[in-house]
Structure 1
Amino acid sequence: MAEQTQAKTPPAEPVNPATQWANKAFEVWSAYADANLKATRQWTDFAANATKESVSLYAELQAANVEALQEGQAYIAKRISDMPAEMMNPKDACQKAMSEFGTSAEKFSKLVQSNTHAVIRSTEQYWLTAQKTGNSIRDTYSQAYEKLTTLYTSS
């Protein structure tokens, strides 16, 4: 008959309760640290996206403001240069001034409308980014809660 060799396993060492408690405390601390790190990254991403959107909005509004300023300066320069000729025929000058003022007011109104749309688009983008970030952070802490629940119930 063939001899069967069995490898002997060393006897299990008794588990030290202090070591067991320290291991569990480390796992809990690690779960909290991971969740907080992930949430901090998500907040940082949100801040970066909000800053990017703010800079974009600022540039768009600034461009519209420069355009409005140039339009206003052109209108005033034209009115000043036409003044000597208009003094000869005040009635026509008044009608021309009202017509030009109406055109300038219409351009100004379109610029204000464009700025309003830009602010609304930007606000919507902020809202969507904030909502996405909030959901991600909620999910992060839900996962941490599940992990901690598992750690505490496995005792």
Structure 2
Amino acid sequence: MSSKFDPVTRRRALAIGGSAVLASLAGCSTVLNAIGDQVFEQVNILNQLSQEVSGTIGVTDPDGETVLDTDFDVPSTESDGDSNIVAYADVWTGTGSYQVEMELTDTQVGGVSQVSQQVQISDTEEEMIAISIGSGEESEPIAVRVGESFSDFGQANQTE
């Protein structure tokens, strides 16, 4: 079992950040979505904290097969030279319900250090998940979202 890990380069992250600022000022989610599509893969971990986080992530497909099982290190939002996003491609094996398990090593966010959530994937070509560490929501310090575009990740998850 191997999944393609696609680190986001500093140049790509800066381009995305700059475009995001411009798009938010212009109110244009289309631009944000186009930029996000260049960076995001099927499974994405976003570190919204001012410190690096590490841990493990596992994804099990609808047939009970492990399709992603790896350690990760995600730089902080204040990292000099590295993106705060880690992305994994080639995870989906088909449509259905996937189990997502993530545990942080030596880090708690709002008293939480792990998340376990089932998500529904109905379009393997378009849908992706984002796991936001330090989501900014007190009730959900580690948020799991399913969406087809960058702007979908700001909305409440309908698969819970």
Radius of gyration: which is bigger? 1
Identify, as 1 or 2, the structure richer in helix.
1
Structure scoring higher RCO (CA < 8 A, sep ≥ 6) equals 1
Identify, as 1 or 2, the structure richer in strand.
2
Q: TM-score normalized by structure 2?
A: 0.21
